[in-house]
């Protein structure tokens, strides 16, 4: 029994202790506590000091952490080493990449939870993040996980046709809208499959979200699918959410006025009603040269007839109007075709005696296919010099060369290819 007069150090017998991890009985008593020699785990049993009088409270040694301390060789070679605390600090040191990766995982989980999206895609987003971050130059501010992760999540969800509220993403992220928009195009260099994604499927998924939110029937989806397929070539250069709002608004104005409004659709998609109105005017009324457009709502009766004629959708429409019926059954909506000549620059040509021809470039464009077709025409001209006429046969220049080129890129600098 320890008394005030006779203080002794009564050490606990550690021979009957075993490690909970590896079941080893080789337990070492140190100043930090009981440590397993085999795996380095600090046991939960606390080391007590009984050398003090009972009038004083017992003192417990605080366990540093439940992690491994040093290596196995260091633990076996220094059973009572004063360096164990230092080794523990060194053990906790992580490289900068490890710290950034840990921050990235936390940021991904936080954003997905805020957007109410399943965490099952967390690992896939993390792999894309590592790939993009590795390709960015050191010192770039967008290597910061808090700035890069929102963009990676945006493109991953769009690539996999998962609906996304972009305004909400910016609200919960630690990146400004200016930084977000400036770095957006650069991410595409690391995602070559993004331009090949199925945009129609994403738009239809967004329409399904509208149907579920406002509890509409599936005929809304069927009509949207038909209209989207018919108008796709003329509207595909617009943003996905704008296309979704355009299609959903057309279906609403035609057959669902009593159940939903265009303004509510625009609020759901975070777009402006004026954007949808300008799209209807430009993509439908102006393209098919249909007069009488006043506003999105006041011209809904004409829009209903146009869509019925274009997409063969008949809902037994009963529209009373005193205006001339612009769309009778025998009428056809035929878009116009324009052809213009492209004037070349005024640069002085370099005369080549072997190339005695004239060149013309024409651009042909109709109202359905937005991208024009370019025609390059090479015509022979008469020789002005007898010397040249003797040197080159006229048969070589008595033919017309035509080249057809198509503009493919929807965004960025023009890229042409031969058809």
- Select the more confidently predicted residue: 394 or 276: 276
pLDDT of 144 above 50: yes
SS3 319: coil
Token pair 């004629």: residue = 309
- Determine the Cα–Cα distance for residues 405 and 408; give it in Å rounded to an integer: 9
Q: Return the closest-CA partner of residue 376 out of 410, 416, 337.
A: 416
Q: What is the pLDDT of residues 385-395, one digit of tens each?
A: 444 444 444 44
Q: What is the pLDDT of residues 201-255, one digit of tens each?
A: 889 999 998 999 998 888 999 999 999 988 888 888 888 889 999 999 999 998 8
Tell me whether strands 401-407 and 59-60 are parallel, antiparallel or unpaired.
unpaired
pLDDT at 387: 46
The full set of domains in the chain, from first to last, is 27-92 (no CATH), 96-196 (1.10.472.10), 199-311 (1.10.472), 338-418 (no CATH)
Q: Encode 152-168: b = buried (16+ Cβ within 10 Å), e = exposed.
A: bbbbbbbbebebbebee
- Mention every residue, 6+ apart, whose C-beta is less than 8 A from residue 229: 200
Q: What is the pLDDT of residues 9-42, one digit of tens each?
A: 434 454 577 887 788 888 888 776 788 888 877 7
pLDDT at 207: 92
- Determine the Cα–Cα distance for residues 264 and 240; give it in Å rounded to an integer: 18
Model confidence pTM above 0.85: no
Give mean pLDDT, residues 328-349.
Answer: 51
Distance of CA 100 to the CA centre of its chain: 21
Are residues 153 and 125 in contact, defined by beta-carbon separation less than 8 angstroms? yes
pLDDT at 316: 46
Of the listed ranges 89-93, 198-202, 229-233, the least confidently predicted one is 89-93
pLDDT of 129 above 70: yes
pLDDT band at 138 (very low <50, low <70, confident <90, very high): confident
pLDDT at 311: 76
Find the helix packing angle between 262-269 and 273-280, rounded to 10°.
110
pLDDT at 318: 38
Give mean pLDDT, residues 33-58.
Answer: 62
- Select the more confidently predicted residue: 220 or 165: 220
Q: Return the closest-CA partner of residue 339 out of 313, 360, 315.
A: 360
């Amino acid at each position: 029994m320890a008394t005030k007069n006779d203080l002794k150090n009564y050490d606990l017998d550690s021979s009957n202790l075993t490690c909970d991890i590896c079941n080893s009985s080789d337990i070492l008593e140190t100043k930090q506590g009981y440590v397993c020699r085999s795996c380095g785990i600090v046991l939960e049993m606390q080391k007590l000091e009984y050398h003090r009088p009972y009038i004083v409270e017992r003192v417990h040694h605080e366990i540093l952490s439940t992690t491994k301390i040093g290596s196995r060789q260091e633990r076996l070679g220094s059973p009572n080493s004063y360096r164990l605390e230092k080794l523990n600090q060194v053990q906790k040191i992580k490289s900068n990449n490890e710290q950034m990766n840990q921050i990235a995982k936390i940021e991904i989980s936080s954003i997905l939870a805020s957007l109410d999206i399943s965490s099952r895609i967390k690992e896939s987003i993390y792999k894309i993040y590592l790939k993009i971050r590795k390709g960015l130059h050191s010192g770039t501010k967008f290597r910061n996980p808090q700035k890069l992760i929102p963009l990676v999540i945006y493109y991953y969800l769009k690539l996999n046709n998962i609906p996304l509220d972009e305004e909400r993403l910016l609200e919960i992220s630690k990146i400004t809208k200016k930084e977000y928009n400036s770095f957006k195009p650069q991410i595409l260099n690391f995602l070559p499959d993004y331009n090949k994604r199925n945009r129609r499927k994403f738009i239809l998924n967004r329409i399904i979200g509208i149907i579920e939110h406002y509890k509409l029937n599936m005929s809304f989806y069927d009509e949207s699918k038909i209209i989207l397929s018919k108008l796709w070539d003329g509207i595909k250069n617009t943003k996905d959410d704008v296309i979704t709002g355009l299609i959903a608004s057309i279906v609403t104005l035609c057959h669902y006025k009593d159940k939903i409004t265009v303004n509510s659709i625009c609020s759901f998609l975070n777009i402006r009603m004026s954007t949808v109105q300008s799209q209807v005017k430009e993509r439908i009324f102006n393209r098919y040269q249909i007069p009488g457009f006043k506003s999105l709502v006041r011209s809904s009766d004409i829009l209903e007839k146009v869509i019925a004629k274009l997409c063969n959708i008949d809902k037994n429409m009963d529209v009373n109007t005193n205006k001339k019926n612009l769309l009778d059954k025998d009428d056809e909506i035929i878009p116009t075709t324009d052809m213009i000549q492209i004037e070349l620059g005024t640069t002085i040509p370099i005369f080549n005696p072997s190339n005695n021809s004239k060149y013309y470039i024409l651009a042909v464009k109709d109202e359905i296919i937005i991208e024009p077709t370019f025609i390059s025409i090479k015509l022979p001209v008469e020789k002005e010099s007898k010397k040249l006429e003797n040197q080159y046969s006229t048969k070589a220049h008595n033919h017309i060369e035509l080249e057809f080129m198509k503009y493919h890129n929807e965004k960025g600098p023009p890229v042409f290819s031969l058809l």
